[in-house]
Amino acid sequence: GDSVTQMEGPVTLSEEAFLTINCTYTATGYPSLFWYVQYPGEGLQLLLKATKADDKGSNKGFEATYRKETTSFHLEKGSVQVSDSAVYFCALSEAAGNKLTFGGGTRVLVKP
């Protein structure tokens, strides 16, 4: 079945540092890939997505590129802020509007 593996946290960074969260997946077809963010005490918010190979999703300074050859969708941000402290989830969906398979989540803590 489908699965998503992402690096375990917590990841602790200083403000303005570079952030990378690795995510790899296994899927039977050609899934869409997503990054969701969960701020403390809140639900999930879609951060970015990519629907086909070589697509790059970007939002709020975050980027991730759909790499079919390495089955990866690593999340990056060049300069993090304290407000980026949250849990980040990588996810895939095999079909449009279908259920999501989530990775384990990576907690990121940005210190001033």
CA–CA separation, 69 and 65 (whole Å): 12
Q: How many residues bind other proteins (CB under 8 A)?
A: 22
- CB proximity list for 42: less than 8 A, separation 6 or greater: none
- CB proximity list for 65: less than 8 A, separation 6 or greater: 50, 54, 55, 56, 57, 73, 74
CA–CA separation, 49 and 73 (whole Å): 10
Q: Is 101 in the site for other proteins (CB under 8 A)?
A: yes
Q: Is 31 in the site for other proteins (CB under 8 A)?
A: no
Q: Is 109 in the site for other proteins (CB under 8 A)?
A: no
Residue selected from 29, 40, 43, 112 as contacting other proteins according to rule CB under 8 A: 43
Q: Is 11 in the site for other proteins (CB under 8 A)?
A: no
CB of 105 to other proteins, least distance (A): 5
In the window 66-85, what residues touch other proteins (CB under 8 A)? none
CA–CA separation, 28 and 78 (whole Å): 32
Q: Is 53 in the site for other proteins (CB under 8 A)?
A: no
CB of 16 to other proteins, least distance (A): 27
Q: Quote the tokens at residue 32.
A: 């869409």
Chain residues binding other proteins by CB under 8 A are 34, 36, 42-46, 49, 51, 89, 93, 96-105, 107
